[in-house]
Amino acid sequence: MQRLIPLTLIATFGFTAVALAQGPTAEEASQVQAVDYHYGLALDIDKVIHITDTSDKVGVVPATITYLDSHGQLRKLNYLQLGGYDQGD
């Protein structure tokens, strides 16, 4: 019985560490207000969480990047990028 308690604690803390390491949830990301990019905006991107997939788009299209800054704050940035779809001329 005495061996079971430490094993339970290790398992509990191990699962907690894994959950924290996975980053923000979709609900947390949806709560963050996006900022529109403008030329010269200083960016502090430490870890990218999500980028809009524009591989099926043509031309200049809106995209959003969700990221953590160097202080661990979740942020979103709206910007324009060239879509990746090739029409095959």
pLDDT digit string, tens, across residues 28-83: 878 899 999 999 999 999 999 999 999 999 999 999 999 999 999 999 999 999 99
> How far apart, in whole angstroms, are the C-alpha atoms of residue 57 and residue 39?
23
Confidence of residue 18 (pLDDT cuts 50, 70, 90): very low
pLDDT of residue 9: 47
Where exactly are the structural domains of the chain?
26-82
Contact 49, 77 (CB under 8 A): no
What would the mean pLDDT of 80-89 be, rounded to a whole number? 82
Second CATH level (architecture) for the domain 26-82: Roll (2.30)
> Can you give the pLDDT at residue 25?
82
User: Structure tokens of 72?
Assistant: 């661990």
Q: What is the pLDDT of residue 16?
A: 44
Q: For residue 81, give the amino acid letter.
A: Q
